[in-house]
Amino acid sequence: MAGKTFPDIYCSKMTVDRLTVYLASTGKGAFRVGLGLNASSHPAHFFRRLFPDARLTEDDAMNRPLAEAVEASLRDRPRGKPLSMDVSLTPFQWAVLEIVAAIPFGQTRTYGAVASMVGRPLAARAVGQVMGGNPLPLIFP
């Protein structure tokens, strides 16, 4: 990501059972979610390896909407109001993530099935790449 500039990134973390959820937002909205089991890193340290040139600040208040959305996802509850996001995705990536977000809690779909659902039945590998680079897991599980 040489030459790319990042906005200020506000970090925090939450723990649910043994799962540590690292949260990052910008002034525009949810930016990234990271996951760790029994993890104890400070949020800024967690995101520093991903965004070494960004200005990282620990701030729970800036991440409150993202934390509430993550909590709702983990508890299989409706999110309430829409979550503002600061992510750059192609139309295909958005389509994949929206389809995946609509899969009922506890159910799964293959990458091939998701590819068919977005109208690209031969794009299973591309769906896998989208999911591998998903910036907001738990929001788009």
Q: Where are the domains of the chain?
A: 9-74, 91-132
78-119: pLDDT as tens digits? 777 889 999 999 999 999 999 999 998 889 999 999 999 999
Tell me the pLDDT band of 4, cut-offs 50, 70 and 90: low
| Angstrom distance (rounded) from CA 56 to CA 30 | 14
Query: Is the entire prediction scored with pTM above 0.75?
Result: yes
**Helical spans, DSSP H, in 3-121:** 43-48, 64-74, 91-101, 111-117
Q: Which two tokens stand for residue 90?
A: 């192609």
